[in-house]
Structure 1
Amino acid sequence: MKATDVLVQCLENEGVEYVFGIPGTEILDLVHSLSKSNIQFILVRHEQGAAFMADLYGRLSKKPGVCLATLGPGATNLLTGISSAQLDHSPVIALVGQVSSEKQHPESHQYLNLTEIYEPATKWSTQIKSAQMIPVTIRKAFRTAMMEKPGAVLLALPENLATEMIAGQPLALSQIPPSLPVQKAIQTAHSIIQDYMKPFILIGNGVIRENAMEELRIFIDALQSPVAHSFMAKGILPKNHPSNYFTFGFSENDKVLAGIAEADLLIVIGFDFVEQLPQKWNGGKTPVIHIDTLPAEINEYYPAEIELTGNIKQILHALNQLKMPPKSWVPQGNLKEKIKTSYQIRDHQGESNRLPLTTENILLMIEELVPDQSIIISDVGAHKLSIARTYQPKQPDKLIISNGLASMGIALPGAIGAKLACPEDPVICITGDGGALMNFAEIETAKRLGVSFIMIVLNDSVLKLEEMKMEKMFESSEGVSFQNPDFTQLAEGYGIKCGRAHNLRQFEEHLREALLVQSQGEIMLIDVLLPSSP
Structure 2
Amino acid sequence: MKVSQYVTEQLVAWGVRRIYGVAGDALFTWLDALGRQDEIRYVACRNEAAAAMMASAEAKLTGRPAVCMATMGPGTVNLLNGLADAWADRAPVVAITGQVESYKLGGGYKQFVPQEDLMRPLCRYTTTVAHAEAIGDVLHRAFATAAQQKGVAHVSICKDVFERQTSAQIVPELPRVSAAVRPDRIELEHAAERLADARKPLLLLGAGARQDAEGCRRLAEQLGAGILLTLGGKGAVDDSHRLVLGGWGEGGSEAGLLALAEADLLVILGASWFPRSYLPKQLPILQVDSHAESIHAHPRLLSVTANLDDVLPLWRRRLESRQLDDAWEEQVERWHAKFLEETQAIVVQRNGDKIKPETLLHSLGNVVERDAIVALDTGEHTLWFNRAFRSAAQWPLFSGKWRTMGFGLPAAIAAKLVFPDRQVVCVTGDGGLQMCLAELMTAVEQDVSFLLIVVNNGTLGLEEIKMKQKGYRPFGVSMRNPDFARLAEACGVQSRSVQTVEELEGALREALASERLTLLDVSCTSPTLTERKKQIPFQAQA
Q: TM-score, normalised by structure 2?
A: 0.89
Q: Structure 1's 401 and 42: CA in aligned 2 closer, same or farther, altered over 3 A?
A: closer
Q: Which amino acid aligns with 1:63?
A: R
Q: For residue 296 of structure 1, report the CA deviation from its aligned partner.
A: 5.0
Aligned to 1:361: 359
Once the two structures are TM-superposed, the CA of residue 7 in structure 1 deviates from its matched residue by 1.4
1:504 aligns with 2:497: no
Aligned residues: CA RMSD: 2.6
- Shift of the 470–256 alpha-carbon distance from structure 1 to 2, 3 Å rule, reads same
Quote the Cα distance in structure 2 between the aligned partners of 1:96 and 1:344. 50
Structure 2 partner of 1:160: 160
Instruction: Give the deviation of 1:344 after TM superposition.
Output: 4.9
Q: Distance in 2 between matches of 1:126 and 1:326?
A: 57
The separation in 1 between residues aligned to 2:526 and 2:159, in whole angstroms, is: 52
In the alignment, which residue of structure 1 is the partner of 2:22?
A: 22
**2:60 corresponding residue in structure 1:** 59
Q: Secondary structure at the match of 2:246?
A: strand
Partner of 1:212: 212
Aligned partners of 2:323 and 2:420: how far apart in 1?
Answer: 41
Does the alignment pair 1:122 with 2:88? no
How many angstroms does 1:169 deviate by? 2.0
CA distance in 1, matches of 2:208, 2:295: 19
TM-score normalised by the chain length of structure 1: 0.90
Task: Report how many residues are paired.
Answer: 520
Q: Please say if residues 377 and 411 of structure 1, whose CA atoms lie closer than 8 Å, have aligned partners that are also in contact.
A: yes
Q: Which residue of 2 aligns with 1:387?
A: 385
Q: Distance in 1 between matches of 2:396 and 2:350?
A: 24
Task: After TM superposition, give the deviation of residue 191 of structure 1 in Å.
Answer: 1.8
What is aligned with 1:315? 311
Over 3 Å counting, the alpha-carbon distance change for 1:260 and 1:144 in structure 2 is farther
> Residues 460-517 of structure 1, C-alpha deviation per residue, up to 9 Å, x if partnerless?
2111111222223335221111211111110110111111111022222221221121
Alignment match, 2:201: 199
Pairing partner for 2:286 from 286, 289, 296: 289
Aligned residue in 2 for 1:31? 31
Q: Amino acid of the residue matched to residue 369 of structure 2?
A: P
Aligned equivalent of 1:68:
69
Code of the aligned partner of 2:522: V
Deviations 1:204-240 (A, max 9, x none): 11223xx221222222222221111111110111112
**Other-structure match for 1:99:** 100
Cα pair distance change 1:295/1:302, threshold 3 Å: farther
1:141 aligns with 2:139: no
Task: Report the Cα distance in structure 1 between the residues aligned to 2:526 and 2:186, rounded to whole angstroms.
Answer: 59
SS in 1 for 2:298: coil
Deviation larger for 448-457 or 159-168: 159-168
Q: Which of 510, 514, 527 is the matching residue for 1:513?
A: 510
Report the alpha carbon displacement of residue 261 of structure 1 after superposing the two structures with TM: 3.8
Shift of 1:97: 1.1
Question: Partner amino acid for 1:179?
Answer: V
Aligned mate of 2:404, from 381, 402, 407: 407
Q: Measured at CA, do residues 160 and 500 of structure 1 come closer, stay the same or move farther in structure 2, by a change above 3 Å? A: same
| 8 Å CA contact retained: 1:345, 1:391 | no
Does the 8 A contact of 1:463 with 1:481 survive in 2? Answer: yes
| Corresponding residue number in structure 1 for 2:481 | 484
- Measured at CA, do residues 504 and 27 of structure 1 come closer, stay the same or move farther in structure 2, by a change above 3 Å? same
Report the alpha carbon displacement of residue 98 of structure 1 after superposing the two structures with TM: 1.2
Q: Distance in 1 between matches of 2:87 and 2:297?
A: 25
Q: Deviations over 1:367-423 (max 9, x none)?
A: 111211211111111111111211122115x11232211111111111100101111
Deviation at 1:95, TM superposition (A): 1.0
CA distance in structure 1 between the partners assigned to 2:92 and 2:208 by the alignment: 13
1:251 shift after superposition: 8.1
The answer as to 2:499 corresponding to 1:528 is no
- Which residue of the partner structure matches residue 434 of structure 2? 437
Distance 1:299 1:115, change over 3 A: same
Q: Map of 1:333-372 to 2, 5 A cutoff?
A: 335-342=335-342, 344=344, 353=351, 357-372=355-370
Kept in 1, the 8 Å contact 2:251–2:386? The answer is no
| Structure 1 stretch displaced more, 353-362 or 326-335 | 326-335
Pair 1:44–1:111, CA change in 2 (3 A): same
- SS of the equivalent of 1:247 reads coil
Paired with 1:515 and 1:333, the residues of 2 have a C-alpha distance of: 34
Contact 1:198 1:264 in 2 (8 A): yes
Cα shift at 1:284: 1.3
Q: 1:303 to 1:156 in 2, by over 3 A?
A: farther
Moved more, 182-191 or 427-436: 182-191
Is the contact between residue 120 and residue 126 of structure 2 (CA under 8 Å) also seen in structure 1?
Answer: yes
**Alpha-carbon deviation of 1:345?**
7.6
Matched AA of 2:508: L
Is the CA contact 1:375–1:399 (under 8 Å) kept in the aligned structure 2? yes
Supply the distance in 1 between the matched residues of 2:366 and 2:475 (Cα, whole angstroms): 37
Distance in 1, matches of 2:194 and 2:470, equals: 44
Residues 291-332 of structure 1: per-residue CA shift (max 9 Å, x gap) = 1111255755254324232x3223323333444535542568
- Is the contact between residue 379 and residue 460 of structure 2 (CA under 8 Å) also seen in structure 1? yes
CA distance in 2, matches of 1:312, 1:147: 18
Partner of 2:537: none
Q: Which runs of 5+ in 2 are unaligned?
A: 528-542
Residue 67 of structure 1: CA displacement? 0.7
Between the aligned partners of 1:198 and 1:129, the Cα distance in structure 2 is: 61
**Aligned partners of 2:216 and 2:345: how far apart in 1?**
23
1:445-484 alignment, distance < 5 Å? 445-474=442-471, 476-484=473-481
TM-aligned CA deviation for residue 170 of structure 1:
3.2
Q: Distance in 2 between matches of 1:220 and 1:144?
A: 35
Aligned counterparts of 2:9 and 2:236: Cα–Cα separation in 1: 38
Give 1:399's aligned amino acid: P
When structure 1 is superposed on structure 2, of 414-423 and 288-297 the one drifting more is: 288-297
